[in-house]
Amino acid sequence: MSRFLTTTVHISAAILTKSRSPVYLSPSFFSPPHFTSTYHRLPKFRRIICIRAVDSSSETKSDGVSSENQEDKVDSKSELDDNGSLKGNVDDYPSGESEFEKPGAWKSFIVKLRMLIAYPWQRVRKGSVLSLKLRGQISDQVKTRFSSGLSLPQICENLIKAAYDPRISGVYIHIETLNCGWGKIEEIRRHILDFRKSGKFIIGYAPLWGEKEYYLGCACEELYAPPSAYFSLNGLTAQAQFLGGVLEKVGVEPQVQRIGKYKSAGDQLTRKNISEENREVLNTLLDNIYGNWVDKISQAKGKKKEEIESFINEGVYQIERLKEDGWITDIKYDDEVISMLKKKLGIAEEKKLPTVDYKKYSRVNRWTVGLSGGKDKIAVIRASGSISRVRGPFSSPSSGIIAEQFIEKIRIVRESKRYKAVIIRIDSPGGDALASDLMWREIRLLAESKPVVASMVDVAASGGYYMAMAAQTILAENLTLTGSIGVVTGKFNLGKLYERIGFNKEVISRGRFAELTAADQRPFRPDEEKLFEESAQNAYKQFRNKAAFSRSMSVDKMEEIAQGRVWSGNDAASRGLVDAIGGFPRAVAIAKHKANIPQERQVSSMLLS
C-alpha cells in the first residue's frame, strides 16, 4: 500500500452530546481514491505556566467538597488476572488533588505590590466577579488573544488564578449547549470543585442545557435557570448512521478491509445496519457514561441513585419540578441573579456589577497573583485533532496534529537539559498510520531519557492511542474514548456510477499491482484483493504488537483487548491500556513523582503548542 490517508466516521451519538453533534467513536486509517485529507498546522508559540503544589497522597478523602473530586486510581504496570482485571499495584501514583493554601500576610503584601505594577491589561477592579460563558466547542489548545472559541487549559487556569486573586470575589458561569467530549467536561468540573475550596462563591446560570451541561452546573455552589429554560434530562442515546444503501443506489461500491472485529469505522460506508460488535461497544460505552453521570449527580445532590434514575424516567419537563426536587437552587432570570450577586457583595442596586470576562482574565499573568513557578521545568506538548504526516496546502492554522511539527518539538525537548519531565496531552481520533508510527518512535526515544506522561482528554483512539502508548505512563479521564487498536483501509469502485453518468476512465500501467488503488473504475482482481488484505493485516499486526510491547503485555493478551475496540478510560485502565485515571493536575503530579521532584515543590511548565 503506497499510503494511508485519513477519514473519520462520524457517529452522531448522544453518548457525548445528546445527539446534538457528531462524535468520533471509531477513527480509521482509510485511503480511498478521490478522498483527500486536510492537513493542519499548529501555531508556534510558547508560554510559561507554573503548576501549583499538589497533594502526593493517594488515599481517598471524604471531607467537604473534595469527596466528590477524587479520582479512581488504577496504577501502572499492574498484573492482570485471567479476566483482565487488576491484581495489584506496583507504583503508588500521587493523586494530584489540589489543596487550596491561603496566602500568609507577607505573600499577600507581595501580591498587592505586583498588582500595582501590573500592565494595564492585567489590572482587575477589586471585588470583581469572573464571568465565564461555557458554550459551543472547547479546544484543548491554548488560544491566542486573537483566537475565538474556548480553551480548556485557559478555562482551568482562570479558575486556579481566580481562587488566589484577592481582586476576584467569585465566579459566575453561564452554561449552555456544549460541543465537546466528557473528558473535557470532567476536567472543568474538577476545577470548579477545586475553586470551591477557596471559600469564594461560584454560581451557575443555565438557560439551555442537558445532561452534560447539568453535570457541570451541579458542581457549582448554586445553580439557577430562567422560567423559560430549555432543558432535557431524559437520558442518553447512541446513534450510528450508515451510507451503504445510499452508495449502492448511486453505483458506488466501497471495498473495505476492516481488521479487528470491533473496528467499525468502515461500517458507515459498507453496511445498512449496525453490526452486533458495534452494538456491543456502544452499549458498553453508554452504560459507562450513564452510570458515571448518575453516580456523580447522586453524590452532588445527596440523592440515591434510584431517585436520580426515577426522576429521569419520569420525563420531567416543568422547570418548577427541578426547583421542588432540588435539582436547581431557584428559578431566576439573569438580571435577578446579578441583583442577588450585588446584594451578596454589598453593591447598590443602581450600580453595575464589576465583572471581568474569560478572555480578558486569560491575559492576567499567574505571577501577578502569586502563582509563580519553581526552577524545575516540565514540558507540555498538546496534540489535538486528526493526524497527518505533513502540512497540506489548504491546512487551517489551528487544528490537527502534523507529525513533522510534532516530532520537531519532541526532539527539541529531548535534546534540552532544562526539562525534567514531559507531559503529552492527546485529544485525537487517529489518522495517518505512518505519521502515528513516526511519532510513536520519537516519543519512545524521548522516554528513554526523560519521564514521559501521556494525558488523554476526550479521545485517544487509533493513531491517538498509538502516540500515547509510547509514553511510560498513560492517564485517561473516566470516559476518555481509548484504544481502537485496529485498521480500516479501502477504496471505492466507481464503475457503475461512471457508467450511469457516461464517464469513462482507462488506465495504462506497468507492474502487476500498479492499478491496485488507481483503477477506481473496476473492483479488485482476486490477486489484488488478497494483497490488499495482507497489507492491512500487516499494518494491524504492527500496531497490535507495538501496543503489546509498549504496555509490557503478551501479544495474545493484547489481541483480546485490541480488535479495533473502543473502551472508556475506566475499562481501558482495568485492562492495562491505561495506568491511572485523572486529568492534567494528576499528570503533573505523576511527572514530578517520576522525575523525583518533591510533590510540595512548585514546578514551571513550558507549553509547546
Which residues are the active-site residues?
263, 462
Quote the CA–CA distance of 597 and 605 in Å, as a whole number: 13
Quote the CA–CA distance of 543 and 387 in Å, as a whole number: 16
Residue 523 gets which letter from DSSP? Answer: P
Q: Are 368 and 417 contacting, i.e. CB atoms less than 8 angstroms apart? A: no
Let me know the angle formed at the C-alpha of 454 by 156 and 598, rounded to the nearest 5 degrees. 75
Q: In 12-167, where do the E strands start and end?
A: 23-29, 46-51, 128-139, 150-151
Angle between helices 433-447 and 403-415 (to 10 degrees): 10
By three-state DSSP, how is residue 442 classified? Answer: helix
Quote the CA–CA distance of 542 and 537 in Å, as a whole number: 9
Where do runs of H (alpha helix) occur along 218-257? Answer: 244-250
Where do runs of H (alpha helix) occur along 165-275? Answer: 182-196, 211-217, 244-250, 267-270
Residue keyed to cell 503508588: 92
Q: Are 589 and 96 contacting, i.e. CB atoms less than 8 angstroms apart? A: yes
Q: 205 is written with which cell numbers?
A: 446560570
Quote the CA–CA distance of 13 and 257 in Å, as a whole number: 24
Quote the CA–CA distance of 412 and 432 in Å, as a whole number: 23
In angstroms, what CA-CA distances link 496 with 31, 462, 501, 505, 515? 20, 33, 9, 12, 18
Contacts of 89 (CB under 8 A, 6+ apart): 75, 78
Quote the CA–CA distance of 372 and 161 in Å, as a whole number: 11
Nearest CA-CA partner of 424 in 140, 9, 134: 140
